[in-house]
Each structure stands twice: as structure tokens, then as C-alpha cells.
Amino acid sequence: MRLINVLLLSLILTACGTTSKKSTPKSDIDTELEGLTNESFEWPQEKGYNTVDDFLDSSVTNEPNVLVGESVAKVSKEELESPMDVPRDIDKAMLACYRGNFNLADQIFDRIMREYRKNPIYWNQVGNCFMMKGSMRKALLYFNKARDLKSSYTPPVNNIGVIFEKNGFYQKALKSYEEAKKQSSFSLTPIFNLAQVYARFGFINEGKKLFESLVRINAKDDDALFGLAFFELASGDSARSLQIFEALSRDYRGYPEVAVNLAYALYLKGDASQARDILSDLKVTRNPELNDYIGRIKRLVN
């Protein structure tokens, strides 16, 4: 539209200035129009949807992570590769978003838009970027655009669930994750998100089965292991829960939400002394619900 407007303006200026015999220097508009040909208005060949494009084509972290092929949401910014170190433009834009370099991401998205205009991957990633910026309404528009292009495309359905969950609409989030899981039984991210909602609301058997499936895929993923340990604890098998806690990395066991459940499992197995040692090192967090839970476990153990 910008170039068309420029052309129309150029025609108007020419029509109004034909009575003057004075030569005038080239304007910025004339300079901008130099070199334009019919090819300047041709759109590039569309890059169609390909399933393999949904997965990162290079490793972004050395940490074991069951979801890393589908999402880098669980990877810290420090571990992520530089956007310029990956070959595909769509991955460059995505990594720029996750690293917080939104200006670079916008530049890449603008540059490749015409090529990816009918590709749901593109619109889903733009939505992801807006979600990371905190612009949930815009993100929702782009996720729905991706779904319009391919109704069976799983990632935007999962991401709509994330928006619902972030805004406290857990029932709607649950339905979105369940729909995404049904659409693609091979997609792990909806399974992980669904399992976490199950954990929040005490769906023990359902959540346990999901985390078991994730651990079978990657037995070194701390998040998946902790989820399974939590559900084993909730189902009353503290011994099995402790076995799984032992498989967690030392640093991961230091997180408050992990440490408090480890302490509770130890207490249930009769080791109140070690449980108290763990609880004594816990600091107040920014999560009121977690602080309340830690307080209740401390009162129980002490």
C-alpha cells in the first residue's frame, strides 16, 4: 500500500506541475522510485506448511529436557543459542523473542511475512512473541489466524490454553490442552501443560499417567520427574516418591516448590529430622500459595 500511495502522489504532482518550465532537483520520492520494475511488486513463492518445521532443527541447550524439540519455554535465556547461530529465519525470530530481543524479532517477522503469509507456523510464532511481550489480546488474534489456516494445527490450540491459564481461566485452559492433546498424540507440550493443571486441581490418576509417559520419553528431565514424584506423594506412595526425588539434579532439588515436597515425603517416611533441615533453609517466595503451603508443612513437621 505504501508504494501504491507513493505512485498516486507522484502522478498528482506531475499533473499539477506541467505548466512550469523550471527544472527541479530530484525529490526523495523520485529517488525512491528509481529502479522499480514489475518484479518489485511480485510476491515471493509461498513457503508451505511442513510438519518438520514445527521442531527446532538444532540443539538450543545441553540440558536434558523432554520438550526441547517443541518449545524453549523451559530453557533459560542464558542457555539459548544466539538467533544468528541457527539457519532458519523462523527459528531466528523465535529465539530473538525468547531472549527478549523483540526489535530483532519484529524485523525478521516483517522481512519473511510475504513468504510465510499462508503458513500457520509463522502466525503462531508471532502470537508467541506477543504473548511474551504481555500483549495477550494480540497474541490471541495471531493464534486464531494460525488456526484459520490449519484447523488441525496443535501449537496455537495449546497456546490459547496458556493464555487462559495465565488469566486464571483454568477450566478453559484444561479444555484447550485436552483438545491439543487429542489433535496430536505426538505433541508433548500440551501433555505437560495438561498434567500441571491436573496437579493444581488434584486429578491424581490422570496427572500421574501423563507424567509417567513424559518420564518414559526422557528419564532425565527434572520437570517431568518432579511432576511424577509429586503425584506419587499425593497418591500416598511416599517411598516411590522419594526414589524419584533422588533422581533429580541437586540444583533442582533446591527450588522451594521441590524442596518442600521432598521434606514432606521424608517426614511421611519417618525422617522428620532431615525434613526439618530442608525446611529451615527455605526462604519466603513471591508466590503466596507456595508460602502458605510451606508454612503448613513446617507446622506439621515441627
Q: What is the pLDDT of residues 82-135, one digit of tens each?
A: 778 778 888 899 889 988 999 999 999 999 999 999 999 999 999 999 999 999
- Exposure string of 146-176, with b = 16+ CB inside 10 Å and e = fewer, is bbebbeebbbbbbbbbbbbbeeeeeeebbeb
Where are the chain's structural domains? Answer: 64-200, 202-302
Where are the strands (E) in the chain, listed by range? none
Inform me whether the pLDDT recorded for 2 exceeds 90: no
Assign domain 64-200 one CATH number from 1.25.40.10, 2.40.50.140, 1.10.20.10, 3.30.70.260: 1.25.40.10
Torsion of CA 115, 116, 118, 120, to 10 degrees: 170
Residue type, 105: A
pLDDT at 35: 64
User: pLDDT tier at 179 (50, 70, 90 boundaries)?
Assistant: very high
Position 171 confidence tier, pLDDT thresholds 50, 70, 90: very high
Q: Is the pLDDT of residue 6 over 70?
A: no
Quick check: 13 pLDDT over 50? no
Closest CA to 92 of 108, 69, 70: 108
Q: What is the structure's pLDDT at 21?
A: 39
Of 101, 111, 147, the closest CA to residue 127 belongs to 147
- Same CATH fold assignment for domains 64-200 and 202-302: yes
Identify whether the C-beta of residue 126 lies closer than 8 Å to the C-beta of residue 110: no
pLDDT at 242 over 70: yes
Q: How far is CA 163 from the centre of its chain?
A: 11
Residue 24 — pLDDT band, cuts 50, 70, 90? very low
Does CATH number 1.10.3720.10 belong to domain 202-302?
A: no
Name the pLDDT band for 217 (thresholds 50, 70, 90): confident
pLDDT at 3: 37
C-beta of residue 270 within 8 angstroms of C-beta of residue 262? no
pLDDT for the residue numbered 1 = 37
From residue 242, give the alpha-carbon distance in Å to each of 43, 210, 259, 295.
59, 19, 12, 21
| Vertex 260: Cα angle to 258 and 265 (nearest 5) | 95
pLDDT value at residue 86: 79
- Closest by CA position to 31, among listed 6, 53, 59, 62: 6
- Write out the three cell numbers for 232: 506419587
